[in-house]
Homo-oligomer: A and B are copies of this chain.
Amino acid sequence: MSAPGQREFFTVKTVSEALTGFRPELRTPVETIALAHALGRVPAEPITAPHALPGFARATVDGFAVRAADTYGASEGLPSYLDLIGEARMGQAPETEMRPGGAVAIATGAPLPPGADSVLKVEYTQSPTPELIEVLRPATPGEGMVRADEDAAPGAEIARPGRPLRAQDLGMLAAAGIAELPAYARPRVAIVSTGDELVPADAPGELPVGQVRDSSAPALAALVHEAGGQPDFAGIVPDDREALTATLRALVKGSDPFGRVVEGLSRGCDVLVVSAGSSVGARDETAAAIASLGEPGIWCHGLSLKPGKPTLLADVGGIPVIGLPGNPRSALVVFRLIGMPIVRMVGGCTEPPPEPSARARLTRDLPSAAGRLDVVQVRLAGEVAEPLFGSSSLLSILTAADGYLLVPEAATGLAAGSDVEVMLYR
């Protein structure tokens, strides 16, 4: 075990300390994106309506545009009579101007003629002759229509910075004619796997004894996608400090097309994820390699978390570095809890989308240590949550799970029968 590794190993933080204390300031650059590709993207500034929406007073019912004053007191017993003076055409500027005692036939969505202040539903009228409208109910000003600026006033904020765009936000931006907008670039998240036992995920056939495929990298890439990032496989590096240091240095510093580090080149990633070797020795090599990259360096060398204790967090020249445990299940648990929020933060997302969850009743006691956060995988059967146990090296525990629950840091466990909140996988 190297001297720096040994010293740093004692910096163990709680997950809540990490979430509040390890907050990179780095933000991705702002780029211009097309509305067609903006779902889930994060606006970098408030987007405002360039003009009023819908832009003209518009009927919201099929009927007759009128001046409400001309219909006061109308009833089935004592109708008002209005002259049919024209028709509002869909998609065209009004040809008719209202005059006292007049009515203009209008369909939902058509523009109101100037001077009209309401649209009376066709059901509240009768047409005794082609030129005459019998009004059976008074209209209220504003009835059966929307104002020219009722969906948005000019300059009104129609999408706010920091919140990923939803389907309806795209609709509103489209309505306003905003075909492109400034958004944070997707964070480039480099994923480096280490371990002498690893072979690439696409290695075919049955492997020789001792070798395993790199299952963490594809799963982590999927979580990076879900957090709005762009994963970048940087390959598998053996448990060798020099090889690992060279690979990591090229990623945080920027390198030329031949992989040579060149100072001044833009960096190779916005977030660096190292899926560390599984043994203590391999983790020490990873820690030493990260420590050698630059300042301020390692923020913590472990988390009070089960599974996931051997998690290293570092800041290298402003780039957040996440050293994940070697066990695939632990790595995925830590990346959900710590990594995804960091990717979102770097990508400018200040309002993460809500995650699905469900209340359920726990089937058995879950002992835990005070001060440690336990992440327990569960299978749901109706409103019952059954914990799944097994080595943290087993991915099958995760694939069998519908979600997970947290035994909070302050608790020493959860009793069977407790009402728990299960975070659901989607």
Contact = CB atoms under 8 A, between A and B. Distances in A.
Contacts of A176: 213
Contacts of A353: 356, 425-426
A215 B172 contact: yes
A202 interface: yes
Interface string A172-198: 111111010000000000000001111
Interface stretch (A25-33, A133-141, A203-211): A203-211
Given A107-B279, A109-B326, 18 more contacts: A55-B206, A55-B212, A60-B327, A91-B197, A108-B326, A109-B278, A110-B197, A168-B401, A169-B399, A171-B215, A171-B328, A171-B332, A172-B396, A179-B201, A179-B202, A353-B425, A354-B358, A356-B356
B166 A426 contact: yes
A88 to B, nearest CB: 8
Q: What are the 4 tightest A-B residue pairs by CB atom distance, in nearest-first order?
A: A171-B219, A107-B279, A353-B426, A167-B222
A12 interface: no
A341 interface: no
Given A90-B196, A93-B209, A196-B91, A168 B332 contact: yes
Nearest to A395: B172
Interface of A: 35-36, 39, 50-51, 53-56, 58, 60, 62, 89-94, 107-111, 146, 150-152, 158-159, 166-177, 179, 195-198, 201-223, 225-226, 239, 277-282, 326-328, 332, 353-358, 390-396, 398-399, 401, 424-426
